[in-house]
Amino acid sequence: GGDLSCHQVPYPTYYTGPNEVWWAPYDNRPGTGATHALPGYNPNSLIYPFVENNRKVFQCPEGYDITPGSPTLGQQYQVSYAFNFTTGGPAGLRLTDITNGTSQVLLGWDHSNVPACNYQFPGANVQVPWPFADPAA
């Protein structure tokens, strides 16, 4: 479709169809979760070939759900790192287009959840940085 960067989806992990490709090998088909892919999932991603199709590159050794009361407590995340998914953020830009200095911009980081990070207010299609003081941050 016309929304190649998925900025019009209702939430970051919204499944858009079988041709969807994440930056990291992440299965978000209906029935999956942050810690598990569906049986038969064939890992793929935009940068997967450049890391020799090694899924462990995307899994921090400490990338386990540690959220008290979570039904997936203790399970390893599919991907332990996040890509900046904020509206107007650096995702999809060339380094020369990032004008406030690339050392001042976060593109990816370790993350205890899904491989995209942002906060989206209900009913809005603008993704903003997750509030730093939020207990879930």
Q: What is the pLDDT of residue 23?
A: 86
- For residue 124, what is the DSSP state? -
Mean pLDDT of the region 110-116:
67
**pLDDT tens digits for 14-72?**
898 998 888 889 999 999 999 999 999 999 998 899 999 999 998 988 889 888 898 99
Task: Write down the residue that tokens 């090694």 correspond to.
Answer: 54
Q: Which helix (H) or strand (E) holds 128?
A: strand 127-128
Task: Write down the residue that tokens 């990032």 correspond to.
Answer: 98
Q: Which of 124, 135, 133 is nearest to 86 (CA)?
A: 124
Specify the pTM: 0.73
**Coil vs helix vs strand at 49:** helix
Residues 6+ apart with CB under 8 A from 57: 51
